[in-house]
Amino acid sequence: MKKSCILLIDSDRNFAFVWQFILKQQGFVAPAALEVREAINVFRTHSPDVILCDYDTHKLCKRYERNLLRRLIDQKKIPVIVMGDLGDRGDKISIHSHVKGYLQKPFSRKQLMNVLVHFELEFAQYKNRNDLN
């Protein structure tokens, strides 16, 4: 059985490391990129099923990098979950058409797993929403 791949894009090295570790513990392939340019390179070696993208990291990259990432996401129809510290504005953001969710930072492992359950990814420990309660 192929493990689901979650690409994590966040410029905060500590945040990326911790969540990459947690995702790997949960049975995912979890490459992390500290900037959008790195994320584009990850597409060459991995085929992510979901992308967790920090709002600020995405906004701070160069326009051509942002456009290239959008094209890759659009071609493969990869769902994106945006992470950020946007408060009430978080529900209204739209980086591109494949944004399927928003996680307010800081969030818990349980909150992240609840969001990922919607994408029917293969979990090592959690098979359905009832296991998370």
Domain ranges in the chain are 6-132
**Helix axes 13-25 and 109-117, enclosed angle (nearest 10):** 60
Query: Residues for the chain: how many in total?
Result: 133
Residue ranges in the chain whose pLDDT is less than 50: 90-92, 123-133
At residue 8, the 3 state secondary structure works out as strand
pLDDT of residue 97: 62
Classified by CATH at the fold level, domain 6-132 comes out as: Rossmann fold (3.40.50)
* Axis crossing angle, helix 36-45 with helix 63-76, rounded to the nearest 10: 30
Supply the pLDDT for residue 89.
Answer: 55
Task: Look at the block and give the residue holding tokens 């090592």.
Answer: 124
d(CA 89, CA 126): 30
How many Cα atoms are found within 13 Å in the side-chain-facing hemisphere of 40?
15
Radius of gyration of the chain, Cα coordinates, nearest whole angstrom: 14
The pLDDT score that the predictor gives to residue 129 is 42
